[in-house]
């Protein structure tokens, strides 16, 4: 079992959560969220067309009073 998990975690799409999105042109895409960042995939074949690491984004902390 452990050997299987070692192999599986090296697969490109291991641990990716997908969300259906559309770009400005209305094209259906998938947004993949994983531990390393955000990926954009073509909807039809999940071909990766873009990757952005979390350090590419500026996160704002919301302060609730």
The pLDDT tens digits for 14-47 are 788 999 988 888 888 888 888 878 888 888 887 7
- Check residue 60 and give its pLDDT: 56
- The pLDDT-based confidence of 64 (bands split at 50, 70, 90) is low
- Check residue 41 and give its pLDDT: 86
Q: What is the 3-state secondary structure (H, E, C) of the chain?
A: CHHHHHHHCCCCCCCCEEEEEECCCCCEEEEEEECCEEEEEECCCCCEEEEEEHHHCCCCCCCCC
User: What is the average pLDDT across 47-63?
Assistant: 66
Q: Where are the domains of the chain?
A: 15-65
- Check residue 19 and give its pLDDT: 92
Q: CATH fold of 15-65, please?
A: PH-domain like (2.30.29)
């Amino acid at each position: 079992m452990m050997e299987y998990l070692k192999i599986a975690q090296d697969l490109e799409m291991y641990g990716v959560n997908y969300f259906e999105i559309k770009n400005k042109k209305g094209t259906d895409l998938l947004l993949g969220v994983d531990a390393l960042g955000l990926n954009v995939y073509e909807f039809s074949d999940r071909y990766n067309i873009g990757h952005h690491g979390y350090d590419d984004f500026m996160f704002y902390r919301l302060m609730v009073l």
